[in-house]
């Protein structure tokens, strides 16, 4: 169990009350790391803790994971989130049309120049 201020660990045997430890656990949003102070054990295998430090990104991940567990998203919200993530990573389309037009124009000019050259040499004779 975890909250923004601390949580409850399953430990056997419990650590000494007041011990300062480094914690790392994985959430759906990524790892959360921070330091914590161990509080008085509740049972032989459960011991509460309170966070001493929880850096910005870790705190955001934890808050987001707690929010997601309190307010789970339905299939529509998940689909919308996946769609938003997908379109944010899509590269803007390249200007193929302008390259195509430039190529067509160059080919047309080459054809026109060839025609003018043939006509010019034909008229000189």
pLDDT in tens, 28-45: 778 899 999 999 999 999
Contact between residue 45 and residue 8 where contact means Cβ atoms under 8 Å apart:
no
Residue 96 confidence (pLDDT): 66
User: Which pLDDT belongs to residue 42?
Assistant: 93
More confident residue, 125 or 43: 43
Question: What pairs with residue 35 in β-bridges?
Answer: 22, 53
Mean pLDDT for the stretch of residues 75-87: 76
Instruction: Please state the pTM of the whole predicted model.
Output: 0.54
62 pLDDT more than 70: yes
101 or 107, which is more confident:
107
Length of the chain: 125
Mean pLDDT of 97-116: 86
5: DSSP letter: S
What are the domain boundaries of the chain? 6-74
CA distance linking residue 1 with residue 73, whole number of Å: 21
Question: Is-cis flag, bond preceding 13, omega within 30?
Answer: yes
In terms of average pLDDT, the best of 3-7, 48-52, 80-84 is 48-52
pLDDT in the model for residue 26:
87
What pLDDT does 49 receive?
94
């Amino acid at each position: 169990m975890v909250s923004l201020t601390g949580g409850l660990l399953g430990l056997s045997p419990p650590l000494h009350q007041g011990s300062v430890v480094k914690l790392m656990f994985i959430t759906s949003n990524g790892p959360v790391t921070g330091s914590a102070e161990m509080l008085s054990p509740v049972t032989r295998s459960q011991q509460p803790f309170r966070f001493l430090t929880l850096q910005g990104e870790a705190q955001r991940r934890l808050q987001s994971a707690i929010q997601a567990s309190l307010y789970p998203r339905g299939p529509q919200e998940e689909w919308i989130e996946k769609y938003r993530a997908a379109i944010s990573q899509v590269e803007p389309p390249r200007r193929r049309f302008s390259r195509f037009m430039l190529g067509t124009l160059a080919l047309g000019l080459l054809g026109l120049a060839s025609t003018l050259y043939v006509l010019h040499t034909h008229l000189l004779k």
